Structures are given as C-alpha cells and as structure tokens.
C-alpha cells in the first residue's frame, strides 16, 4: 500500500481523491515543506476540496478554531502619486479631478476619532507624493501619536519607505539609508509596516504592470532591515493580473526564504526546524515548546501575516482583464497557507475578497484572520462599493460564528484584546 494511502486512513483531514496530490498530502500531514512543484500540483488539481482540506488542516493545527479580527482604521493620507502603475485605480496627479491630500490637522482629527471609537490600530498608507518633504511624514506620525498614544501605527509600504529615503536624500545610502529612515519613523511613532506594494516578485511582471515601482528585491530589503530592527511587517501578493501561477509560487518561495532567516535564531532556541528551514505548520508533536513566535519569545521582527490580494480591474489601465474568479481566490489563499508554512497568519482581507468570500476562506480555505472594521479604504473599490467601507464588530462576529469559528479580537501584534466598550487592553 502506498504510504499516502496509509496517511489518508490515519489523519483527520478530508480524503484526497486526486492521486496527483497524494505525495503533497503526505508531506502536509508530516509537516514537511512543500516545493514549488508541489505548489504547481495544488494549482493544477481539479480537486479543490482536497486543496482546501489540507490548508484547513494546517490552519487548525496552528490556530484551532480561532478567527482573528481587529478594530482598526485605515487612513489613506493622499492619493497623489508620482507613479502610474497600470493596475492602480487609486492614484491621481496633483490638481487632477479626485486628487486629495490630508493636512496634519486632518490626520490628527482622524486619529482622535479612531481612538474615541475604540480602535487599536491606525493603518496609514498613501501614494508617492512628489512634493511633501520628509518632515511631513514624521509630523504625521507624531500627530497621531500625540492625539492617540494608544493607537498602534502601522504605516508606509516598502515602496513608500524607499520614496522617503529618496526625498530625504538617503536614497543612495542603500541599506544604511533605509535603516536610518526606519529609525526616524520609529522615533516619531511608527509601530510596524504593512505588507503592501509587494505585488508579485518577478521582473517580467514588474516591467509589464508596475515599472517605475521598486522591484521585489528592494521591497524585500526594506522588510529584512525592518526585521533586523525588531519591526514587525506583513506581506501581500497582488495577483490575478499579468502574472501566472508559477510566478505567484516563486513569490511565495521568496517570502518563505526570507522568513526562515527572520525566525532562524528564535527557531534554534525552540528546537524547531533544521537550522535552515522553519516549519510552523506541522503536527503538534513537532513543537515541544512554542509553535509560533510571539513578542515575548522573540525580539526580532518577522512577517506576521500574508495577505493575498485579488486584483480588481475596475478603473485601472488593466480594465480589459477579468481579474481572478472566486474559485481562484479560494485556491490561492489555500495554497498560500500551505506554501507559507513559516508565516503565522493568513489573512482574508474582506475589503478586497468581500465578506461572504472571506467567511468561506476562514471556514475552509486556511485563513485565520479577516482584518478589521476598517471604516475608510480608498485604495481599491470592489464593484459597487464607494470609498466608505466599514463593518462593525457585531457583523464580524456573526460572519465568523456562522463559519463555526471563535472570534478573537487581536491587536496589531496578534495579542488578544480585552475590551469593555471603547476601553481595551492587552496582556
């Protein structure tokens, strides 16, 4: 009897009907790392339910039936941008219809409003503004911090960080320039970096869809330096435009390698992995101590969450494309969960996936996080939505409970939040 059949009979996951997935299934059950070829088999299989079943197995090993959300506010401080990425429907030139810019005072008011409504996090990103000086960005962080010191400020994609290095004349200083920008921002109140701007780490895709933006290696350099400084980050993958599935798998492979380096020291101290690979998604017996790094057990930064983002063609220069289907979205998040075995959290970002699809992704597709209450998100408008996209805690609870999951409010660092109305605390 092939070993895959033995595993099928002795593990709790759903059976795998596609023989081409038996070897992958055995690896998942044993907690072994998947190869890019394994990822291709997961993409090629018509047995989507088995792909999801495997993702659900590792998601439940890592998080049980917990479904994370947070109470957050997004602030897109300006859509004025020096670049014109073909997939972007957000950016405007200054003076163009629809262009906007927040003043520092307006930012201050947003922070006060967020704190008064009980938010734990302010998520701040914008275009690459061609005229704001570097001080504008530190002033903005300081204003948020002064007005609402309880808010964790998650701000600026790696693309913006490189832009800030350039406008503060540190662009030619390489890693040292990035490091000194991050230190200045942290001194002004920065808590962590979001994962935007990664798109797909491939030069062909870069040159076709977002030429002018930094390439994947520069994006990863910013995150590596942030991790070295103890700053946590996230990682996105914007897919479903001009890239192919193989390029998505390469993107995941590169992220996973960088996370191995970020977690190396912590994993060695925990007896996890073989010194080069860190797998966090295996069976319980593989983790005699902690399964996942926490701020208590690891003082370096790392990728906390991966957020696969489906491309939304509307109003972009790539409007001729269809964008990914619901099935492709479900399959991609499940494969990301399986491939990214060392990234603790997989987020179904409801703003772009929609709430109903995110619910499915949490229930059966390997996701454990749905993002937050949001209020205002101007980067992407899913068909029929205006810029005001908001949901309440009650609605998130309903969606997660209907999926058979236990909602747990988290802060930006994934610490459980204890809440009494707008008052909250973490241990």
Binding site for ligand SF4 (CB under 6 A): 81, 83-85, 88, 90-91, 127-128, 159, 213
- For residue 308, the cross-strand partners are 237
Q: How far is the CB of 393 from ligand SF4 (least distance, A)?
A: 30
Q: How far is the CB of 85 from ligand SF4 (least distance, A)?
A: 3
Give the nearer residue to ligand SF4 in terms of CB position, either 213 or 381: 213
Give the nearer residue to ligand SF4 in terms of CB position, either 85 or 140: 85
Give the nearer residue to ligand SF4 in terms of CB position, either 131 or 297: 131
Rounded Cα gap, residues 208 and 216, in angstroms: 14
Q: How far is the CB of 130 from ligand SF4 (least distance, A)?
A: 10
Give the nearer residue to ligand SF4 in terms of CB position, either 25 or 156: 156
Q: How far is the CB of 81 from ligand SF4 (least distance, A)?
A: 3
Give the nearer residue to ligand SF4 in terms of CB position, either 323 or 365: 323
Q: How far is the CB of 315 from ligand SF4 (least distance, A)?
A: 12
CA dihedral 60, 307, 144, 137 (to 10 degrees): 150
- For residue 309, the cross-strand partners are 238
Q: How far is the CB of 167 from ligand SF4 (least distance, A)?
A: 14
Angle CA 80–119–100, to nearest 5: 15
Rounded Cα gap, residues 217 and 128, in angstroms: 19
């Amino acid at each position: 009897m092939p070993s895959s059949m033995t595993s099928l009979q002795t593990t709790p996951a759903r059976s795998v009907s596609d023989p081409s997935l038996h070897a992958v299934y055995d690896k998942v059950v044993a907690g072994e790392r998947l190869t890019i070829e394994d990822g291709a088999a997961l993409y090629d299989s018509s047995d989507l339910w088995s792909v999801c079943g495997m993702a659900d197995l590792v998601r439940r090993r890592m998080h049980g039936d917990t479904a994370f959300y947070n109470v957050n506010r997004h602030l897109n401080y300006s859509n004025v941008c020096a670049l014109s990425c073909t997939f972007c429907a957000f950016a405007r030139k200054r003076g163009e219809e629809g262009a906007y810019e927040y003043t520092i005072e307006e930012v201050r008011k947003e922070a006060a409003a967020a704190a008064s409504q009980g938010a734990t996090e302010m998520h701040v990103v914008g275009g690459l503004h061609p005229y704001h000086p570097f001080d504008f960005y530190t002033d903005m962080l300081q204003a948020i911090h002064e007005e609402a010191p309880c808010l964790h400020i998650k701000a600026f994609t790696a693309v913006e960080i490189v832009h800030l290095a350039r406008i503060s004349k540190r662009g030619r200083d390489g890693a040292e320039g990035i490091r000194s920008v991050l230190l200045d921002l942290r001194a002004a109140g920065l808590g962590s970096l979001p994962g935007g701007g990664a798109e797909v780490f491939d030069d062909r895709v870069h040159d076709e869809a977002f030429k002018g933006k930094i390439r994947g290696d520069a994006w990863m350099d910013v995150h590596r330096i942030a991790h070295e400084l103890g700053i946590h980050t996230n990682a996105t993958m914007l897919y479903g435009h001009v890239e192919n599935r193989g390029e998505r798998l390469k993107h995941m492979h590169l992220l996973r390698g960088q996370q191995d380096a970020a977690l190396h020291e912590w994993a060695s101290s925990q007896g996890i992995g073989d010194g080069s690979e860190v797998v966090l998604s295996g069976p319980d017996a593989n983790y005699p101590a902690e399964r996942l790094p926490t701020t208590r057990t690891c003082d370096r930064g790392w990728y906390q969450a991966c957020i696969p983002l489906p491309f939304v063609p509307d109003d972009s220069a790539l409007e001729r494309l269809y964008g990914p289907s619901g099935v492709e979205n479900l399959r991609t998040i499940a494969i990301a969960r399986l491939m990214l075995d060392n990234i603790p959290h997989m987020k179904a970002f409801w703003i772009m996936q929609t709430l109903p699809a995110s619910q499915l992704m949490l229930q059966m597709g390997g996701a454990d996080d749905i993002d937050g209450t949001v209020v205002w998100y101007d980067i992407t408008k899913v068909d029929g939505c205006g810029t005001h996209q908001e949901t309440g805690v009650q609605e998130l609870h309903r969606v997660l409970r209907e999926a058979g999951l236990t909602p747990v409010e988290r802060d930006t660092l994934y610490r459980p939040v204890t809440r009494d109305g707008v008052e909250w605390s973490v241990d």
